[in-house]
Chains A and B, each alone.
Chain A
């Protein structure tokens, strides 16, 4: 057991078709403890609201109405407009490898490759505003880490073994760091290369780390679509971001900065 001040148990809610876990390490003895409790619920509410607006599974979501042509991009909510703008920026910066119209066979708009990370980061800002200084928000493997697990001890985030959900293939030490992984396992070929229309060859998963979960999530999708060379693309083109891929033939390929984030020994 870890001694010290009383802390909250992690909280979990099922939103966006997946489990979201918020673990706040700030002491319950702090003056702002009640405000943080309120903020945790507000963070979940924020994620639910984003899901209502952006889910491609909900027929009454704004994205679904956009796909049915009931609204167009010039007459949509400011929130959707912002997301579409960021998605377009990502498409240009990734040379078309992140394309919200290119990842699905039916060609419908699906911004979920950016929205999940963006919404979780937004939830983090709600916790920040309440004064939380050490927490993680884990949205089915896309993780936003604030501060440290304990003073002097960073959060330790495992990267899942694509062939075995019970094991991890690497550990990242995280302080104020976002970790996002895109893969071809479990959900099948979730991401296709928009240029070829087919899943990328030779890659089982792509993990991107960096300061923003919005962009780590987005770049993980783009870099996965590129294949193994996406590791080099992230490290070369994206300041502050590093990548690690697992190849189909079971090798780890990582950027130098990613390797530096791994524990020594």
Chain B
């Protein structure tokens, strides 16, 4: 289901656009205040041990040393995944409220993965959709991976969702060309 990948990108775009909207007067146009996401839920008082080990700095010249083997433990999730992406391309305030409508096509940018070009659908000054006009082939792979999402790690997912989170670690999700093309499209709306 290729849509899921697209939804993820739209989510990113909307977040980015929101950041613009929060502080449009910012000089650089790149930095803005965003609301704290550290207050989403009750804190869990679970002071477990931290795996950082000795607080030594590995600064260039240090050499990790061998230590007794730690056996990885395998956890297996079963059952059907119930967590679905909540993101929908909901209307969002644009960088300004110009009331513009139409399709705004961003410039095409070459990246090491291929050419990236996006377009914004704007209605009455609100971004209602983001389209990928050109996207490197690896996006299709990404979509393919998404389509295979199945009974993954259900217990882990549910457990992990249950409490507040201060940040999420994951592979980079905004390619350089995507951002550049998006910016050029936003500039046309402004």
Contact = CB atoms under 8 A, between A and B. Distances in A.
Interface residues of A, number: 108
A263 B4 CA distance: 30
A44 B48 CA distance: 32
Interface residues of B, number: 94
A17 B16 CA distance: 12
Contacts of B64: 93, 237-241
B31 interface: yes
B165 A156 contact: yes
A104 to B, nearest CB: 7
Interface string B136-164: 11110110011011111100110111011
A212 B57 contact: yes
A37 interface: no
Contact of A156 (B151, B157, B163): B163
Interface of A: 1-2, 7, 9-15, 17-19, 21, 23, 25, 44, 56-57, 82, 85-86, 89, 93, 104, 106, 136, 138, 140-143, 149-150, 152-177, 179-190, 204-205, 207, 209-212, 214-215, 231-232, 235-242, 246, 250-265
Interface of B: 4-5, 8, 11, 15-16, 19, 28, 30-39, 43-61, 63-67, 69-77, 81, 83-87, 111-113, 136-139, 141-142, 145-146, 148-153, 156-157, 159-161, 163-176, 179
Given A11-B31, A253-B75, 18 more contacts: A82-B60, A89-B61, A149-B38, A152-B45, A152-B47, A153-B45, A166-B83, A166-B85, A167-B83, A186-B142, A190-B172, A205-B170, A210-B53, A232-B72, A239-B53, A252-B75, A253-B72, A261-B49
